[in-house]
Amino acid sequence: MSRYTEAVDVAIVGSGPAGAAYARILSERSPGATIALFEVGPTVTSPPGAHVKNIADPAGRAHAQTRSEGPHAKDSEDRVGGIVKTSQRRARPGTFLLESGYQVEGEEGLPVAAMSSNVGGMAAHWTGACPRPNDSERIALLDSDGTFDELLAEGERLLGVTTDAFDSSPYAELVRDRLAAAEDAGRIASTRVQRMPLAVHRREDGNLVWSGSDVVFGDVTRDNPQFTLFDESLVTRVLVEDGRAAGVAVTDRRTGERAEVRARFVVVAADALRTPQLLWASGIRPEALGRYLNDQAQIVFAVRIRDLEPTAGDGSPGSTGLSEYSGVTWVPFTDDMPFHGQVMQLDASPVKLADDDPAAPGSIVGLGLFCAKDLQASDRLEFSDTETDGYGMPAPTVHYTLTERDEAVIARGKEEIVRLGRAIGEPLDDRPFVMPLGASLHYQGTTRLGAADDGMSVCSTEGEVWGVDGLFVAGNGVIPTATACNPTLTGVALAVNGARAIAARLAD
């Protein structure tokens, strides 16, 4: 007997925040619709899609991370998880690197481009930062009548975004005040130094809970009898008949069973690397597919907070091992200051910059500046018709170069991060470090939205793929602008727009 349903109203590929947003909005607006969600990776947390930081046991947390590390994931002493350093290709825990094709001779490439395969996707491993885009980061096509801000607010609801999770951190206000003194002059209120909006909330027992796709799903999705989550299920092809999406072909990675699941609507929300891969494998190849690929060059720096006064809080770790000293502070992107700044205590950061100071715990903080990319169609993914990746899907090759403008922005960013760091404390090293390209994990643009099928976009503002009725794409790849801020909130907001469009058509 087949594990899979023969037919559903909506088939969703990918269980990250965007795929989960489709399931949530459809469960709320179309409770009678049948929904099947397919995830290539295993379920590694309870509830499915939860953040691994919420696992109190360190060994259990590490096990969940290693199981997320792709087609060859295994528990072993030689696991690849860890910080990325110059000339080394190492992935952070819970992620895995492209096996090949990450750099073409004569180009910068994305040497540490990485993905996660697990229920919840990268949202089981992320930092939870959910800033709103600003200035040229915003999407003008959705910005004329307040639609974009309403969608962002809905994304914040689904992700459980708060700004007060670290208000009890003893050094949080001190860090913000020092940064504000150095940076706020000339900024409007909304772009001044402030608390980072985070997909985090605090339980009644005082411990932090980080949002994953489980929060996006919510009880309304989990309790929906018409919703089914199929993990360890590789979707190999979108079925298209008479110019319309008709379902998906799927392989059970545990048993090898192959099946076709018919669907009225198909949503591909794999990620910015694998969504275009699946469309390519399905013979759906609009001109812009895989193009305008963009990463955010990431500059990091560490300082020791100077002149610390005794504090009432001790910042001691809670049950998930996260100490709370300096919280997470946001320096918003502006067109005049084209960087997104993120300042956080070391153990909240995915990048380990230094060992903390045992004499003054919490005194060392990390700064990160993310740079907006100079977009170009030549930055792209190409897919092979003969070679395959670890899942047996068309192998990608990354074409990616930095322009003169990119180099100038990075050079300025290195100067700015030292200036901001010195405002907080004493640098551990006067030389900021530029992470290898791909380290941000904020890949975008490969299935970008647009106003018309003009060869420069893959889908409409609602995410429907040009020329294939009923096929929607979702996730960060849909974002058409050059952002510096963390893109998850924007990706979820765009998924809300698409899910509403499907719900309206289901009601017709």
Q: Which residues are catalytic?
A: 442
Cross-strand pairs, 343: 329, 367
DSSP line for 77-95: TT--BS---TT---BPTT-
Parallel, antiparallel, or unpaired for β 35-38 and 7-13? parallel
Tell me which amino acid residue 162 is. T
What is the number of other CB atoms lying within 10 angstroms of the CB of residue 400? 24
Round to whole Å and give the CA distance between 379 and 376. Answer: 6
Alpha carbon distance 40, 71 (integer Å): 9
Exposed/middle/buried for residue 90 (C-beta within 10 Å: 0-12, 13-18, 19+): middle
Dist. CA 252–CA 234, nearest whole Å = 6
Distance, CA of 452 to CA of 458 (rounded, Å) = 9
Contact 213, 124 (CB under 8 A): yes
The region that residue 189 occupies, defined by phi over 0 for left and psi between -120 and 50 for alpha, beta otherwise, is alpha
The DSSP 8-state label assigned to residue 244 in this structure reads: E
CB atoms within 10 A of CB 263: 25
> Is 508 within 8 Å of 473 (Cβ atoms)?
no
Placement of tokens 């993310």 in the chain: 370
